[in-house]
Homo-oligomer: A and B are copies of this chain.
Amino acid sequence: MAVGPDTLPELKPVDGFRIGVASAGIKKPGRRDIVLMELCEGATVAGVFTKNAFCAAPVVLSKKHLAASSIRYLLVNTGNANAGTGEQGMRDATACCEALAERTGVSVEAVLPFSTGVIGEPLPVAKIVGALEAAKSDLSEDNWLNAAHGIMTTDTRAKAGCEQFEHEGKTVTLTGISKGAGMIMPNMATMLGYVATDAEVDQAQLQAWLTAATEQSFNRITVDGDTSTNDSCILAATGRSGVKVESSGEAADKFVSALNRLMLHLAQSIVRDGEGATKFVEVRVEKSASVREALDVAYTIAHSPLVKTALYASDPNWGRILACVGRAGVENLDLNAIEIYLNDVCIVEKGGRAASYTEEQGQAVMNGEEILIHVVLNRGDVCEAVWTTDLSTDYVHINADYRS
């Protein structure tokens, strides 16, 4: 169950970025569970990682390697998160990096490890190492679709996108994949994103743009309010297009715009495939006094089990939305100034139900699969949006039944 059409755009190869997929038999024999990504020499790499204090061993190691070295390989396994595994987990993640480094003639620090799957089980190092040769011989620039499938866990569909722009007669490509179906699934932990481009961008600038893009994409989505131990998003730039993107100017504008579109698409694809999702919901808070209060209101609505069950029921239950705005902790809120809309239908104004509102109008909006909950605070000029799903009986089934 997912919201919207299950179609992927053509995933253009990125010159200098090769991908190999293999089966290590971590959870199920024959399932693609290893994705190896190879960057050409001279590529720059940026990363953002979970803020969960209990971050997994591969996250700790990836951060360390990223700070110490230029990066040549990304090694992803599914089926095991290598999280909650203490010191052994660090040794296991290191062992995988070492094995790959040996086989490719790079330093251990040139490898970033990523794991997603069950928490608290020892990483099956031998299985992963045993699949490295197969992944290596599969390396190809045309493997994006296989990679999108290879990093899936409870995802019901592959998630990928592609953006291109022209600059001074040359074409720049950005291609990316993501996975995740709850914001966290510590059993099949979590959100991963990989974007590669053939633009040339220096590392510090790449990191700044990735951080900014993440803030407006992966950090604006929620399925169940949880944050995983393994969330990671990587942006790699090979430079092979011959277009150097400086910190500002026309190329920078085009690049940032393409990156933001791609990242938002990858993030929203995760929400559309949210566990048990039957609705894709944007919560937009406008005319707010600050980003903080806009997000407080938006997330209070997006996380409310009562709003989410009403969405599941296609019930235009404006009282539940209004109560969320009221408890979001915004100081000196002027109730009479607030307007709340479902799509274009005004449901609340002057502290109560809008005079013009009819239940039929609300019902018509709620019957749709894509819904906008639009709150106008009328106390400033900040606008922020977050994206979420409804809360269905299937969500409970998926998360209650998963380990049994």
Q: Could you mark each residue 265-301 of chain A with 1 if its beta carbon is under 8 Å from any beta carbon of chain B, else 0?
A: 0000000000000000000000000000000000000
With a cutoff of 8 Å between Cβ atoms, the chain B residues found around residue A395 in the complex are: 305, 309, 396
- B352:A186 contact, CB within 8 angstroms: no
- A120:B53 contact, CB within 8 angstroms: no
- A54:B323 contact, CB within 8 angstroms: yes
CA of A325 to CA of B52, assembled, Å: 9
Please report which residues of chain A, range 350-391, place their CB below 8 angstroms from some CB of chain B when the two chains form the complex: 350-353, 391
Q: Is A86 an interface residue (CB 8 A)?
A: yes
Residue in B closest to A83 when the chains form the complex, CB atoms: B319
- A120:B318 contact, CB within 8 angstroms: yes
With a cutoff of 8 Å between Cβ atoms, the chain B residues found around residue A324 in the complex are: 226
Whole-angstrom distance between the Cβ of A49 and the nearest chain B Cβ: 13
- A86:B320 contact, CB within 8 angstroms: no
Whole-angstrom distance between the Cβ of A46 and the nearest chain B Cβ: 23
A84's partner among B189, B304, B348, B392 (CB-CB below 8 A) is B348
Known contacts A325-B54, A352-B86: does B304 contact A187 (CB below 8 Å)?
no
Whole-angstrom distance between the Cβ of A286 and the nearest chain B Cβ: 18
- A312:B396 contact, CB within 8 angstroms: yes
Interface size class of A (residues with CB under 8 A): 35 or more
Known contacts A186-B323, A323-B184, A403-B317: does B352 contact A396 (CB below 8 Å)?
no
Q: Is A95 an interface residue (CB 8 A)?
A: no
CA of A226 to CA of B399, assembled, Å: 21
- A52:B326 contact, CB within 8 angstroms: yes
CA of A400 to CA of B393, assembled, Å: 9
- B352:A85 contact, CB within 8 angstroms: yes
Residue in B closest to A55 when the chains form the complex, CB atoms: B326
Most chain B CB within 10 A, of A317, A318, A322, A326, is at A326
> Which residues of A are in contact with B by a Cβ distance under 8 Å?
51-55, 81, 83-89, 118-120, 182, 184-187, 189, 224-229, 303-306, 309-310, 312-313, 315, 317-320, 322-327, 330, 333, 335, 348, 350-353, 391-393, 395-397, 399-401, 403-404
Q: Beyond the given A84-B348, A186-B306, could you list 16 further A-B residue pairs with CB under 8 A, ordered by the A residue number?
A: A52-B326, A53-B325, A54-B327, A54-B335, A81-B319, A83-B319, A84-B319, A84-B322, A118-B319, A184-B323, A189-B323, A226-B304, A226-B327, A305-B395, A306-B399, A317-B403
Q: Which 4 A-B pairs have the closest CB atoms?
A: A54-B326, A119-B319, A86-B352, A313-B400
